[in-house]
């Protein structure tokens, strides 16, 4: 033990907080001293032995059930020792598909040439493109109509903007919106041509205005980008707070909307038909097998 902690520490301000990483940075002083100290406190990673032993100990009356829906439930518990307070999501009974979904998979970097796209990927996408009922429901106003923060009904130049389901709709530092176009037949960035630049610019302008109006977040704190490959093949743009490291916003997973606009406008009308795209894919993604084969 070192000198300083022989006194109590008095917090004068919270400098930073990382809820994902479970850390907090504090400024304050020891005892009556007038010198400042900065303390960065971070929870330790979960000790697997400790967790395994906690879960295997007979029954758990201390678990608090937050909700249960079908096979999914969520609990909170104050666990002993180093574990501290925990959140637990339980899938029971779980199928092999669930086990696979939560299993850490190898990830690979792979290149998709324009020829790969035309010959192997596009046919695959077209064979999949049926099951987007939920997108149709949003565009037709059947579902989530009260969640739209922007809606232009033109069937070519129109689009909707709404909060992404992953966002809790309250923490502005992790703001996450989605813009979904109305134009049919745009699967992904591969289908964009120079003629789509006005639509893309409009998404950017209206997205900034809507985020400012609804949440008071200004346009220069927003990141606009596209996933390639996207998780569904109906063209959409991700809009997140620049402070939020959203899943999949890394290079090799995402492309900045500003870059898309400028590449089409200045460098090549058909830039994204001519470009080899470097992607990251999980080992069990069907596209990984498709792109690795001849």
Looking at residues 25 to 84 of the shown chain, list those that interact with a copy of itself (rule: CB under 8 A). 25-28, 30, 35-48, 51-52, 55-61, 63, 65, 68, 73, 75-76, 78-79, 81-84
Look at the block and give the residue holding tokens 């400024």. 27
CB neighbours of 130 closer than 8 A, spacing ≥ 6?
none
Residues 167, 176, 187, 225: which binds a copy of itself (CB under 8 A)?
225
Report if residue 204 touches a copy of itself, rule: CB under 8 A. Answer: no
**What span, in angstroms and rounded, lies between the C-alpha atoms of 4 and 142?**
62
Contact 229, 279 (CB under 8 A): yes
List residues with catalytic annotation. 236
Residues 32, 69, 102, 131: which binds a copy of itself (CB under 8 A)?
102
Q: Which of residues 181-200 bind a copy of itself (CB under 8 A)?
A: none
Closer CB to a copy of itself, 203 or 255, in the complex: 255
**What span, in angstroms and rounded, lies between the C-alpha atoms of 196 and 189?**
10
Part in contact with a copy of itself (CB under 8 A); list of ranges 129-137, 159-167, 175-183, 221-229? 221-229
Closer CB to a copy of itself, 130 or 251, in the complex: 251
Shortest gap between Cβ of 133 and a copy of itself (angstroms)? Answer: 27
230 is in an annotated binding site: yes
Q: Residue 274: count other Cβ atoms within 10 Å of its Cβ.
A: 11
**What span, in angstroms and rounded, lies between the C-alpha atoms of 134 and 222?**
26
User: Which run of H or E residues covers position 277?
Assistant: strand 277-282
Inter-CA distances, 255 with 48, 133, 259, Å: 37, 26, 7
Q: Which of residues 108-127 bind a copy of itself (CB under 8 A)?
A: 108-111
Report if residue 148 touches a copy of itself, rule: CB under 8 A. Answer: no
Known binding-site residues for substrate equal 134, 144, 164, 166, 227-238
């Amino acid at each position: 033990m070192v000198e300083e902690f022989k006194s109590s520490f008095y917090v004068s301000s919270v400098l930073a907080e990382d809820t994902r990483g479970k850390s907090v940075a504090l400024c304050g002083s020891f005892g009556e001293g007038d010198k400042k100290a900065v303390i960065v406190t971070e929870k330790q990673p979960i000790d697997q032995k400790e967790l395994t032993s906690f879960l295997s100990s007979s029954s758990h009356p201390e678990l608090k059930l937050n909700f249960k829906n079908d096979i999914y439930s969520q609990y909170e518990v104050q666990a002993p020792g180093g574990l501290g307070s925990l959140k637990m999501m339980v899938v029971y009974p779980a199928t092999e598909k669930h086990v696979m979904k939560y299993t850490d998979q190898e990830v690979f970097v792979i290149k998709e040439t324009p020829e790969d796209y035309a010959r192997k990927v596009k046919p695959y996408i077209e064979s999949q493109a049926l099951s987007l009922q939920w997108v149709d429901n949003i565009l037709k106003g059947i579902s989530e109509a009260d969640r739209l923060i922007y809606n232009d009904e033109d069937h070519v130049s129109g689009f909707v903007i709404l909060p992404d389901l992953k966002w809790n709709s309250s923490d502005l530092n992790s703001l996450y919106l989605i813009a979904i176009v109305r134009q049919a037949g745009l699967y992904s960035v591969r289908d964009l041509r120079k003629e789509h630049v006005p639509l893309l610019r409009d998404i950017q302008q209206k997205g900034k205005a809507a985020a400012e109006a609804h949440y008071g977040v200004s346009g220069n704190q927003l990141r606009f980008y596209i996933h390639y490959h996207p998780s569904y093949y109906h063209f959409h743009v991700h809009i997140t707070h620049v402070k939020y490291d959203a899943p999949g916003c890394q290079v090799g997973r995402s492309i900045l909307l500003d870059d898309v606009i400028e590449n089409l406008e200045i460098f090549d009308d058909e830039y994204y038909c001519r470009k080899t795209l470097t992607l990251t894919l999980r080992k069990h993604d069907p596209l990984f097998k498709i792109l690795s084969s001849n």
